[in-house]
Amino acid sequence: MQAEGWLILAVVGLAVAILIPQAGIRARWRRWNSARSRVLFEDALKHLLDQSQRAQPPTRESLGGALGISGRKLLNLIARMEAKGVLQSVGGALRLTPEGQRHALQVVRAHRLLERYLADEARVPLGQVHSSADKAEHGLTGDRLDELEAHLGYPQRDPHGDPIPHSDGSFSPVDTVPLTDWPVNASAEIAHVEDEPEFVLRQILALGLRPHLTVRVLEACPEHLVVSDGEREHRLPPVIAANIHVGPVADAGVRLAGSLRLAQLPDGREAEVVALDPAFRGFSRRRLMDLGLTPKARVRAELSTAFGDPRAYRVRGTVIALRNEQANRILVRPLEGTGAPMGAL
């Protein structure tokens, strides 16, 4: 009887799963299929937007190759996107409509904000944030994205240097060129590192080359580029160097104006905060700002410990302790005649 009882329960459970879709296999399959369909739809939008921004008009072939689909499945996806009003087919080319572009930018916004979160808050290695964000980007609503953006302090760039679209779809473009096009013996700042293909990204990061780093091209020929980061020289094949995009050094004028790292400020000297290191983000950056270390704030080096780390600083009337690792992230300009005690801030 006991075995018969278990058999009856199993049969009843199977019947419930089949006859009551909300509680059974059908419902789970429908949810999975709906999620899979959304991922495919949004990945298609990202590909179409990316190709358009690269001035490479997307085609059915490029879309199918990017998504790994073909035949009837590809045609059905294109037809669904046309029916939704996000895509137009013009001959063999595909074109996003204004609504399609708006939707695509929101997907990109979700992806890049998640990359920023994973790099800054979750401490995921930079070489892994792209694939991790790819898996999580499809489940975020507009409200959740607004909350995430505010939590991160409204970042302008993702960890690879790409601009993050605002909620209205606008963004600040990055004016850069591939490292292969940068003149020899001129300093440049790495603004962006391509996140695909992933094995190339990993090679670049393994060399210590990442956004905000200042580099100089020492030699360029068809076979390789020799690049210095100020400490080491790297010999890069052009196919690798082309994935590194650079621009003028952003804080070159600041450095020429006599700024230095806060950790270098002598005891008893007062300085004005110029900026925080742009590569220093997330909770640690927000903590420094909460302590009052914002541009134009005045700070004084009060006291060094026997080992020199941590060190005491006075800012906005309060004495705080900072480790050298933190103080090195704060760029300051010393003020003249500040050997006397600092006045009220």
The predicted structure's pLDDT at residue 252? 45
> What is the Cβ-side half-sphere exposure of residue 292, based on CA atoms within 13 angstroms?
15
Residue 234, SS3 per DSSP:
strand
The predicted structure's pLDDT at residue 224? 92
The percentage of the chain sitting over the pLDDT mark of 70, rounded to a whole number, equals: 82
How far, CA to CA in Å, does 113 sit from each of 76, 117, 278, 289?
A: 31, 6, 16, 20
Q: Any idea how long the chain is?
A: 345
How far, CA to CA in Å, does 119 sit from each of 80, 124, 214, 264, 297?
A: 35, 5, 21, 28, 28
* Token couple for 21: 């879709």
The greatest distance separating any two alpha carbons of the chain, rounded to the nearest whole angstrom, comes to 96
- Ordered by where they begin, the domains of the chain are 18-96 (1.10.10.10), 177-250 (2.30.30.90), 254-334 (2.30.30.90)
How far, CA to CA in Å, does 295 sit from each of 214, 272, 298, 335?
A: 22, 8, 9, 14
pLDDT tens figures, 155-171 = 888 888 888 888 888 87
Say how far apart CA 208 and CA 43 lie, in whole Å.
30
What is the pLDDT of the chain when averaged over all its residues?
A: 81
* Token couple for 109: 């916004």
Q: With 50 as the cut, is the pLDDT of residue 136 above it? A: yes
- pLDDT tier for residue 345 given thresholds of 50, 70 and 90: very low
Task: Name which residue leads in pLDDT, 258 or 151.
Answer: 151
pLDDT tens figures, 1-58 = 455 555 555 555 545 454 455 555 666 666 656 677 888 888 889 889 888 887 788 8
Bridge-based pairing of strands 298-304 and 244-247 is unpaired
Mean pLDDT of 171-178: 81
Task: Name which residue leads in pLDDT, 170 or 250.
Answer: 170
The predicted structure's pLDDT at residue 328? 82
- pLDDT tier for residue 233 given thresholds of 50, 70 and 90: very high
Residue 315, SS3 per DSSP:
strand
The predicted structure's pLDDT at residue 243? 92
Which residues of the chain form beta strands (DSSP E)? 87-90, 93-96, 177-178, 187-193, 214-220, 225-228, 233-236, 244-247, 260-261, 270-276, 298-304, 311-315, 318-322, 330-334
Mean pLDDT of 108-136: 85
The predicted structure's pLDDT at residue 195? 83
Across 84-98, 129-143, 211-225, least confident range: 129-143
Say how far apart CA 234 and CA 238 lie, in whole Å.
12
Q: With 80 as the cut, is the pLDDT of residue 344 above it? A: no
Mean pLDDT of 74-90: 90
Across 61-75, 85-99, 189-203, 301-315, least confident range: 301-315
pLDDT tens figures, 265-285 = 888 899 999 888 766 666 677
The predicted structure's pLDDT at residue 9? 53
The percentage of the chain sitting over the pLDDT mark of 90, rounded to a whole number, equals: 21
